[in-house]
Structure 1
Amino acid sequence: MDEFEAKFNLQLPGEYRLFLLEAGNGGAGPFYGVLPFEKCLFSDIDYPNDKFVLNPSLPFSYHEEWNMDNPLNGEDDEQDEQLEAFEKEYFDDKQVNGTIRICNYGCGHFINLVVKGEEYSHIWHWNIRCVHGSLKTRILKNIIKFQILPIKNRSYRF
């Protein structure tokens, strides 16, 4: 963890660090499980690829739930360029700069921990990848924030 913090010029939240050191590095639930620390930067946990990783060294830029409105209204083929531009911006990993993945919710949903920026130590649910191949309708709220709670005692039950 020290090397990670030095490499990305950040400090992991103490509660998360404590969890990794005392409870374990990944494992059972919630959802598809807590991710091992060494997988926290992969953009897509289901298909890890070193070419597609998050950038935790830049600050996370959101403070409230976020979603982009889909600019398309019809089904005309003329909207292909507009759709392509929308998808490029919408699915860009820059949307989650300043975070690391801590849990795989499944189907393109992830639980991220903010490690850089004003939302430091808050947990955000990221589910924009789950659009089922259609961007024709407005995608509802897709990022919800939580706050990591201090660990009061050290007897963990899973």
Structure 2
Amino acid sequence: MTGWDARGVRTRIREMAAEDPGRERFGADTHRYELAPPVPEAEILAFEEAHGIVLPREYRSFVAEVGDGPAGPCHGLLPLTVPRPEAGDEWAVDDEWQEDRLPGRLALPFPLTAPLPGPIRRPEAALTQGTLTLAERGCGMFLRLVLNGPRRGEVWQIDPDWGGFVPASTGFRAWYTAWLEGP
């Protein structure tokens, strides 16, 4: 199943916002339970063509049908293509997001077939090739979507200081749904 119940997701996010008016839930002060409009199909195709990839179906259908972040796990779902300003502030694109968009990087093979325990002693850029940053957890930890190879579609967490680079979820849908249904 790849399609999303966009109305259901938006309703759940509104419920979460109503249940957390003080934005006490982790990351809520960053994403503010706001959901950007979906990305037009032409923009998704242009992104895929420019990077020589095909996005995993669960993620692709989410940004096409539901929205392009930021409401989501951790400090929120990063946008696929164009950073969007938040509450009138200029959106600061972090290094991870910019690194993902380097020419050819997303099409490179994901180098891991098994978890890599931390701390990480190799250059991070070599480990994260073939993955797309989904969210920042904080303290240098990021969630990344594997774009190719035997782990395609899985969400992995990289924590270079302690946790290594390990699977966090079997797929984007499971990862995002766990956030929607979580405490």
- Shorter-normalised TM-score: what interval? 0.5 to 0.7
Query: What percentage of residue pairs aligned between the two structures are identical?
Result: 25
Q: Count matched residues.
A: 121
Corresponding residue for residue 66 of structure 1: 116
Corresponding residue for residue 93 of structure 1: 125
2:170 to 147, 150, 154: 147
2:76 to 33, 56, 61: 33
- Give the TM-score, by structure 1 length: 0.64
Corresponding residue for residue 56 of structure 1: 106
2:63 to 14, 20, 23: 20
Contact 1:39 1:101 (C-alpha < 8 Å) held by counterparts: no
- Give the TM-score, by structure 2 length: 0.56
Unaligned runs of 5+ in 2: 1-43, 84-91, 175-179
Across the aligned residues of Structure 1 and Structure 2, the Cα RMSD in angstroms comes to: 3.1
Corresponding residue for residue 135 of structure 1: none
Larger Rg: 1
Unaligned runs of 5+ in 1: 41-45, 71-85, 132-138, 152-156
Amino acid at match of 1:143: F
Name the structure with the higher helix share: 2
Contact 1:15 1:150 (C-alpha < 8 Å) held by counterparts: yes
